[in-house]
A and B are shown apart, each in its own frame.
Chain A
């Protein structure tokens, strides 16, 4: 069996196995698994409202997934998506609140500001990695907390008067539209999904079709060989982090300009950035894979909210299923071994 086919089968197997083990857990603990999955499905696609909410949830997940995947393809592990996302969120809302610009242009400026903010935040670990070989995992994790508390401080002191949230962004900056809301029965679906899909295209085009992308991937595979071939390793590391951070910042803009319309003081992380790691992992770090994985996670998350009410199954169960899926993807070696066994038997 070719490697390509295997790369597609592994995540699918992981999802199936995750659901299977989830079902076993439900049966063992005395829940009605059929009712649970029916409720999950209804909660995600049962009404047009829920479908709108799923797409709304998927939008930042795609961008966060792209951010992790892009860094990963270039040999970096960006755990700081969460922090870059929060910074992007704040920047987008800041522009949305403070400026007076015509519609569309205002939105674009706010979205770009979010991307730039995320990129700048990721520039720090990129620079430290390139110049001093400080491991990006450590720096990005620490910068997550820095981002959380700095943005909380700014929201409290600069963007509001000791309040816990900013004002709503101006109508000209919003990504929401009454058209999409009307289409999906007042869900919070917004135009951000278009931006996310453009992001997917950009990632694919950049990595696969340009010289710069080739260099980035090359540095990811082998720094020394790339250096020997005359590529500027340091510059490529920084660039990779910056682009990854820009995607994360855009994910923040989706929350700031679309879902919420404001930025509020957070006691903890949003979780979207960390889910992005799982999305990238499940999606095999490819553009199409990221879309599909984000769709799965978004549907699971939104659908899960319906489970306690309709089926009496606690929605934490979906957290277990998601964790299991991630586990099986991470343990893909097991699945690969299994596939090899099967296909060998077939040959005999």
Chain B
């Protein structure tokens, strides 16, 4: 993990370094000479983000956000670095504050804090650095210079639940959660609602691993679930979910005929489910519940660049805003066509507001699809 991170950073830095190396210093001096208060020049609206401890290549949340920043940079023609867009990684919880402060001090026009863990740090720094603009993903911070980005995870999870319910043959489905926090509760609620919408008789076994970076715990939980006859497991557990994929791949390899399915989260995790059996490639991942952090980050960056920074507000990205969704369905699933029709049907209803997906387990009790 560490090694890979190093390699990625290496290649990124080499690419950016060669271009920026020569001109970086000079440009900066020019800016300084022009005077400090012209920081919001039209041509260079600089954006940066701070990752949580998962790092920028976590195949999930942080990576998605960074892809969004890169997409923003590409669109407006900026390079990685101090005068374009950049990221800082946090090694521990104590680093959030320092990193956010560093970026604000380097006069980035907009600084993203990725993940609910940064709630406290953003709140504090936004009050101190009133001139800078901040955005936080997955948490609510009420300060005039902070935009809170929230997602309707329940909508993506609902569609995943529909897919799972259509795919299962044993009528037993599993949910593997990371930590019991509101975000994951939205996933769990939406997923259960989706399953129930298709067939209320299906049981959903819910287990929490207690961490987002413990693949071995994820594998243990997945193993016990599969052995109980569960044939589809949906995870909302970040890196912990990699254990689920490993277990599903191993089982498939051992018994190619067995129905073993997993559903990914955040980004399209199809690549994690590839198994080779007798020279033929199979995939154990039905689909992934997408949370388009990249879209949200890019969207807000562009808005802010246009001078339309909605400070103090909360933006919620749902299915209708392209903020969440479902990845393409795996070809190998027998009920593929059936799933696709059902998903399209429900998506339509959610988008035009006919169907409101519950976001808490409390709301789920009174939820029913007419």
Contact = CB atoms under 8 A, between A and B. Distances in A.
Indicate, yes or no, whether A interacts with B. yes
B69 to A, nearest CB: 14
B179 interface: yes
A52 to B, nearest CB: 10
Given A267-B212, A267-B214, A316-B2, A309 B9 contact: no
Contact of A309 (B5, B53, B106, B180): B106
A109 to B, nearest CB: 23
Interface string B115-157: 0110010000100110000000000000000000000000000
A255 B92 CA distance: 12
A164 interface: yes
Contact of A305 (B14, B53, B88): B88
23 contacts: A47-B105, A50-B98, A53-B98, A57-B94, A149-B210, A164-B179, A260-B93, A260-B94, A265-B179, A267-B178, A267-B179, A271-B91, A271-B92, A304-B91, A305-B88, A305-B99, A305-B102, A306-B102, A312-B13, A312-B20, A313-B13, A314-B5, A316-B2
A47 B128 CA distance: 17
B213 interface: yes
Interface in A148-183: 149, 152, 156, 162-165
A143 to B, nearest CB: 17
Interface in B70-123: 81-82, 86-89, 91-95, 97-99, 101-103, 105-106, 116-117, 120
Interface residues of B, number: 45
Contacts of A259: 94
Contacts of A266: 93
B91 A315 contact: yes
A232 interface: no
B200 interface: no
Contacts of B106: 309
Contacts of B98: 50, 53, 302, 305
Interface string A15-59: 000000000000001110000000000010001011001000100
Contacts of B86: 308-309
B210 A305 contact: no
A102 B101 CA distance: 32
Contacts of B180: 156, 162
Interface in A285-316: 301-302, 304-306, 308-310, 312-316
B367 interface: no
Contact of B17 (A49, A267, A270, A312): A312
Given A268-B211, A271-B92, 10 more contacts: A49-B105, A149-B210, A152-B210, A163-B181, A270-B93, A302-B98, A305-B91, A309-B86, A315-B89, A315-B91
A65 B232 CA distance: 48
A30 B14 contact: yes
Contacts of A308: 9, 13, 86-89
A327 interface: no
Interface of B: 2, 5-6, 9-10, 13-14, 16-17, 20, 53, 81-82, 86-89, 91-95, 97-99, 101-103, 105-106, 116-117, 120, 125, 128-129, 178-181, 210-214
Nearest to B125: A186
A309 B53 CA distance: 17
A223 interface: no
Contact of A186 (B13, B92, B128): B128
Contacts of B125: 186
A309 B89 CA distance: 10
B9 A316 contact: yes
Contacts of B10: 29, 314
B207 to A, nearest CB: 15
A309 B6 contact: no
Interface string A52-84: 010001000000000000000000000000000
A305 B120 contact: no
Contacts of B5: 314, 316
Contacts of B9: 308, 314, 316
A188 interface: yes
A264 interface: yes
A309 B179 contact: no
A94 interface: no
A163 B120 CA distance: 14
Residue of B82, B86, B181 with most partner-chain A CB within 10 A: B181
